[in-house]
Amino acid sequence: MSFISEDFEKLVDALSKLPGVGRKSAGRLAFYLINAPREQTMELSNAIKTACNNIKHCSICNMMTSSEVCDICSSENRNKKVIMVVENDRDLMAYEKVGEYRGLYHVLGGAISPLLGIGPNELNIKQLMKRLTEDIDEVILATNSTIEGETTATYLAKLIKPLNIKITRLASGVPVGGDIENIDEITLLRAYKGRVEI
Ligand code: ZN
């Protein structure tokens, strides 16, 4: 029998499931949370609860939002004829930070990875294809240049080709194996401006 409280163990278990947090750091975090001022811990706990309850996915582009349709999809100032396909919200935010792109996005929710058992059906591709039946000028495939990202881009290009929509892929500048969210803004801007038709 453990001499440590079962509730404490449960907290450590939950924390150790966070990305990049091992069992040891989970224990450290749990000790910190329990011994921190009550208001601070409660503020964190409430923020998690509120975020989980309120944040949903945009019914058009699948990005995180607190409303039915996100601010980008409902904006009058965006070019609704260009869609940039990204793997996740973090990549979308990286592009928004650059500030150059004025089209819409489509968040796939990951990339094809046979190793992790993620196939096309696990990604938000059906909704993308539905959007492409509207009047669209260009689809920018902005998945990462990892094997999974490239596989996904190739898969999507094949799927979209028969629709006769211009398909572009980010130019070199995004290093091979590089995650978009970790790339600096100038490199991202260069990759976007130098995108090539495929
Ligand atoms: Zn949206």
For the chain (length 198 residues), average pLDDT per consecutive 10? 80 91 93 93 93 91 93 95 95 89 95 89 94 94 88 94 91 60 70 76
How many whole angstroms from 68 Cα to the centroid of ligand 1?
Answer: 9
What integer pLDDT is reported at residue 45 of this predicted model? 93
How many whole angstroms from 133 Cα to the centroid of ligand 1?
Answer: 17
Domains of the chain: 6-54 (1.10.8.420), 64-197 (3.40.1360.10)
What is the residue type of 83?
A: I
How far apart are the C-alpha atoms of 124 and 121, rounded to whole Å?
Answer: 7
pTM: 0.75
Strand order in the sheet with 79-86: 103-107, 79-86, 138-141, 166-169, 196-197
How many whole angstroms from 183 Cα to the centroid of ligand 1?
Answer: 23
Residue (of 193, 180, 185) closest to 148 by Cα position: 180
How many whole angstroms from 71 Cα to the centroid of ligand 1?
Answer: 7
On the 0-12 / 13-18 / 19+ scale of CB atoms within 10 A, 113 is middle
What integer pLDDT is reported at residue 35 of this predicted model? 93
How far apart are the C-alpha atoms of 85 and 198, rounded to whole Å?
Answer: 14
How far apart are the C-alpha atoms of 148 and 164, rounded to whole Å?
Answer: 25
Give SS3 for 131. Answer: helix
> Would strands 64-65 and 56-57 be described as parallel, antiparallel, or unpaired?
antiparallel
What integer pLDDT is reported at residue 172 of this predicted model? 59
